[in-house]
Amino acid sequence: MANEGKVAFITGANKGLGLETARGLAELGIAVVIGSRDEANGRAAAEKLKAEGIKDVEAVRFDVTRPEDHRAIARHLQERYGKLDILVNNAGVALDEADFGTPGGVNTTSTVTQEILHKTFETNFFAVIALTQALLPLIRKSPAGRIVNLSSILGSLTLHSDPKSDIYGMKAFAYDASKTALNAFTVHLAHELRDTPIKVNSAHPGWVKTDMGGSSAPMELSEGGKTSVQLATLPDDGPTGSFSHLGQPLPW
């Protein structure tokens, strides 16, 4: 099959959107490496997929904020696979104290602490860049490398500045700004790699029923990984430097 021999590494993949992405890629015949901060949870996720009939999946202990883990996963992927075809930067945090059910909306800009800002950017932005840079030599060995950055529609400056948009009243500043910055990384890295087979794109998974999304989210978890899977398996003529949800472009 077309995906035979491909390997994907997904951060934060022991549950939620990451696990759904792992399931979707594995079902396409791609070997999946699950990154999980908790080793036991990662192993349990891998065993769950194996129980569903998925064979080529493994879990590694991985904390995206630890540089030593970046070096360790690079060594592991080199020694076991010799390359990396797909990197899904899925791990992320939402630390703003924000209730999106607040009448008239929410805006944390004047109240968010420096600690929350730094912790949010460390996971959602700086760690993503560091990991991607660490793994890029392995991705360059793939005939069709794909990098997927898990962003959010809440990172769209265009929609945040439009009073008519659905997210106009949803301003959790630390989280939103970190995803805006992540989108900038997508655009810049895609430009740098424009003459290579590697494609770099930002994914908005949708508002999904996860620990982060909450039970009132309109999308089921089974739908949550679809955008990441689409972008991770783009054909040669697919987009790069894009921001999308289920194949539909979103405004920056």
- For residue range 129-162, list pLDDT tens digits in order: 999 999 999 999 999 999 999 999 999 999 999 9
Please report whether residue 80 resides in a domain: yes
Task: Report residue 36: phi and psi, to 5°.
Answer: -145, 135
As a whole number of angstroms, the distance between CA 232 and CA 210 comes to: 21
Please report whether residue 222 resides in a domain: yes
Please report whether residue 107 resides in a domain: no
As a whole number of angstroms, the distance between CA 114 and CA 27 comes to: 42
The predicted-structure confidence for 2-60, as pLDDT tens digits, reads as follows: 677 999 999 999 999 999 999 999 999 999 999 999 999 999 999 999 999 998 999 99
8 Å CB contact between 90 and 168: no
The predicted-structure confidence for 61-101, as pLDDT tens digits, reads as follows: 999 999 999 999 999 999 999 999 999 999 999 999 887 76
Enter the DSSP assignment of 124.
I
Please report whether residue 109 resides in a domain: no
SS3 156: coil
How many separate domains does the chain show?
1
Structural domain boundaries enclosing 58: 7-95+124-163+175-249
Please identify which of the residues 62, 81, 173, 175 carries the catalytic annotation: 175
Residue 67: CB atoms within 10 Å: 12
CATH assignment at residue 228: 3.40.50.720
- Token match 């800002």: residue? 117
Q: How is residue 177 written in tokens?
A: 């700004």
Residue 109: CB atoms within 10 Å: 12
175 is catalytic: yes
As a whole number of angstroms, the distance between CA 187 and CA 182 comes to: 9
Please report whether residue 244 resides in a domain: yes
Please report whether residue 108 resides in a domain: no
pTM across the whole model: 0.94
Task: Report residue 129: phi and psi, to 5°.
Answer: -65, -45
Please report whether residue 117 resides in a domain: no
Please report whether residue 22 resides in a domain: yes
CA 69 from chain centre, in angstroms, equals 17
